[in-house]
Amino acid sequence: MIIPRFKLIFLALLLTAFAGSAFGQNPASILIPAQSSGGDEWFAEDKLYHFTASAALSFGSFYVYRDALHNHRQGSYYFSGGFSISIGALKEYYDSKHPQSHHASWKDFGADIAGAGAGLILAYLIIN
């Protein structure tokens, strides 16, 4: 059945995201070292956040659009991929309009696109 698997995967993602907080450490810093003070690195901690958020958005929106709203599989891929990438683009647009407190980055947007693709692959493998 689809719903218990979805809940299990969602729970696993939540546990992974908050695992380091019990030890007073950022969970992403376990996998990827913090960004150097020199610039926007491809393997910086914030890229993991962008990737994970986009993967969760595309996977979750695929599930909702296809199963909860009863749409076709092919259209669900288009919708959820577009939805996730659009959210990433809007985030970078927001960052570009608030340079005093945010930093817009093409590398962040690249991580958003990669995460959206990973979420769609995960949806393909899990949700039949």
Q: What is the mean pLDDT of the chain?
A: 79
Give the pLDDT confidence score for residue 27 in this predicted structure.
47
Higher pLDDT, 25 or 112: 112
Domain boundaries, the chain: 43-128
pLDDT of residue 25 exceeding 80, the answer is no
Query: Contact 61/125 with Cβ under 8 angstroms?
Result: no
List of long-range contacts for 11-19, beta carbons under 8 Å, 24+ apart: 13/52, 13/56, 17/52
**Contact criterion met (CB below 8 Å) for 20 and 31:** no
Q: At what angle do helices 45-63 and 2-18 cross, to 10 degrees?
A: 160
Tens of pLDDT, residues 28-37: 444 444 444 4
CA angle 116–122–128, rounded 5-degree value = 125
